[in-house]
Chains A and B, each alone.
Chain A
């Protein structure tokens, strides 16, 4: 035995507020918050830039129509909206609101941006005793509106399904014909991932059946229990679908953007 202290954490550490980053962990606990902060920042910047650009979002070549997810639904044709600036911000507030208030993303950005805490068993931003308020005060009490963003985001998702299906119908001189293009496949993958993310939502899981105290007390409760179990499967992978769908939205927009700009020609076959 060696009686020499390897380090001497004072007893006060157990009663006082530890400094930011204080931990005895030796693994690379900082890596995950850094990667998440980088990923979310890049996506945030990309979203704002492409929404503001107001160009190259509607691919109309070779009879195909691919609409960027950042600009769907097409408010111009839907409501006759004609404004001299981008309408994308009238669209993306719903899906972005869903993600911002999503229980998974809350975990991600509370850790990565707000350092509350940056990782498990790692001290977060120190605050005077009693000043931490979590989600009980503004601004974070607004997280409780998550389900309302879910409602609106589901409407947007419906339009994305419409866009994805429409991408397989080409306008040709002989009429509308079925065809398969790479852009359409990309859009379908995107909307499937978005659906897996949206319908794995914790609020939806609650509303579809989780709020019941008894799953077996009526026929409707049994039906809702079945739905709850299916949503629970998606919810179990909510983090995975959150990231995959985030990436797929960016990839889909980038594909359509580059095709519009003529960087490449969308490969397709019309039957």
Chain B
């Protein structure tokens, strides 16, 4: 960027400009398709850079949602070469050379326009989860070991890529019967909280639909925060449901409330 505010051509920044082909999905809920663009790129550029360059120089009306460009806001989720990815975290030089780069909006949610999807369903699901409800006589000192377990879940940036890749939502469109990995994480963080007083197992096994999850771990694979969604949230919740619903021996031995 020059000091007078005018953008410097990409090639001048590094001296190594190359041209890449992008196939960007353009359209809305009624119709759409991939549109081809050629952009000059430089080493170190990410997909979001290339998309914004297309928007700047070739398609000013291209709709794309982004904010921090630091992989922390979760806004620029898209599908790059068919895989849910944060556009700001996906480097162009990590994608196969000589092949077009495909950029599509998330599949699990309705398209508003181009790369922007309507993820408001997630916020409606979130409202169904009762917030943290402390025990009346709570001792507000929490051990570090307990904080450590919950802090992993607090890393979620709500990019909703785990929701997008989950085949229950993506392919089976069961948004009315399954909360999805992101909200099973939230339920896990509350259910495992030492000070939370609510029994959440009925909701987890009921309207949250945890039994629909068949542990294919795709949510874990795409999580940009590296949260072990399946191993540390979903499976432990499934085991808590087993305690309650499928293990008479356990119920016999643990009659007293925890």
Query: Which of A35-43, A52-60, A106-114, A170-178 touches B?
Result: A106-114
Which residues of chain A from 198 to 222 have a CB within 8 Å of any chain B CB?
202-203, 205-207, 210-217, 222
B71-113, CB < 8 A from A: 79, 81-84, 96, 99-100, 102, 104, 107, 110-111
Given A1-B38, A6-B100, are A144 and B146 also a contact pair (CB < 8 Å)? no
Judge if B160 is at the interface, Cβ distance under 8 Å.
no
Is B115 close to A, CB under 8 A?
no
A204 CA / B131 CA spacing, docked (Å): 30
Known interface pairs A6-B100, A127-B172, A135-B211; A121-B239 also in contact (CB < 8 Å): no
Q: Report if A211-B243 is in contact (Cβ < 8 Å); known contacts: A26-B99, A132-B212.
A: yes
Q: Is B31 an interface residue (CB 8 A)?
A: yes
- Stretch of B6-14, B122-130, B179-187, B215-223 with 4 or more beta carbons under 8 angstroms from chain A: B215-223
Interface size in chain B (residues, C-beta < 8 A): 75
A77 at the interface (CB under 8 A from B): no
Contact B30 A11 (CB under 8 A): yes
Q: Is B194 an interface residue (CB 8 A)?
A: yes
Complex CA gap A134/B214 in Å reads: 6
Contact indicator A111/B79 (Cβ below 8 Å): no
Contacts of B146 in A (CB 8 A): 214-216
Q: List 30 A-B contacts (CB under 8 A).
A: A5-B33, A6-B34, A9-B33, A11-B27, A14-B107, A18-B171, A23-B82, A25-B81, A26-B82, A26-B96, A103-B215, A107-B215, A110-B215, A116-B214, A120-B216, A120-B218, A127-B172, A129-B172, A134-B168, A141-B211, A146-B242, A202-B235, A210-B236, A213-B194, A214-B143, A214-B194, A215-B149, A216-B145, A217-B143, A222-B145
Nearest B residue to A129, CB-CB: B173
Asked if A166 lies at the interface with its beta carbon under 8 angstroms from chain B, I say: no
Q: Are A134 and B143 in contact (CB under 8 A)?
A: no
* C-alpha gap A126/B171 in the complex (Å): 8
* Interfacial chain A residues near B167, Cβ < 8 Å: 116-117, 123-124
The CA-CA distance from A206 to B232 in the complex, in Å, is: 10
Interface residue B258 (Cβ < 8 Å from any Cβ of A): yes
Q: Is the CB of A14 within 8 A of B82?
A: no
- Chain A residue contacts of B226, Cβ below 8 A: none
* Given A26-B99, A135-B212: A5 and B35 interface contact (C-beta under 8 Å): yes
Whether B132 is near chain A, meaning CB under 8 Å from some CB there, is: no
Does A1 lie within 8 Å of B168, measured CB to CB? no
By the criterion CB–CB under 8 Å, are A216 and B143 in contact? yes
Which residues of the partner chain A approach B211 to less than 8 Å between Cβ atoms? 134-136, 141
Contacts of A132 in B (CB 8 A): 168, 172, 174, 212
Q: How far is the CA of A147 from the CA of B83 in the complex (A)?
A: 34
Report if A135-B239 is in contact (Cβ < 8 Å); known contacts: A129-B172, A215-B149, A217-B194. Answer: no
Taking the nearest CB of chain B, how far is it from the CB of A104, in angstroms?
A: 8
Using CB atoms and an 8 Å cutoff, list the residues of chain A in contact with chain B. Answer: 1-11, 13-15, 17-18, 23-27, 103, 106-107, 110-111, 116-117, 120-121, 123-124, 126-127, 129-130, 132-136, 140-141, 144-147, 202-203, 205-207, 210-217, 222, 225, 235-236
- B37 adjacent to A1 (CB under 8 Å): yes
A107 lies within 8 A of B246 (CB): no
A144 touches B216 (CB 8 A): no
A204 to chain B, nearest CB (A): 10
- Are B221 and A147 in contact, CB atoms less than 8 angstroms apart? no
CB within 8 Å for A116 and B216 given contacts A2-B37, A147-B242:
yes
Most chain A CB neighbours (cut-off 10 Å) among B81, B167, B241: B167
Nearest CB of chain B from residue A233's CB, rounded to whole Å: 12
Whether a CB of chain A sits under 8 angstroms from the CB of B154 is no
Complex alpha-carbon distance, A210 and B237, angstroms = 10
Q: A9-B25, A14-B110, A17-B173 are in contact. Are A135 and B83 (CB under 8 A)?
A: no
**Contact of B246 (CB < 8 Å), options: A110, A123, A144:** A144
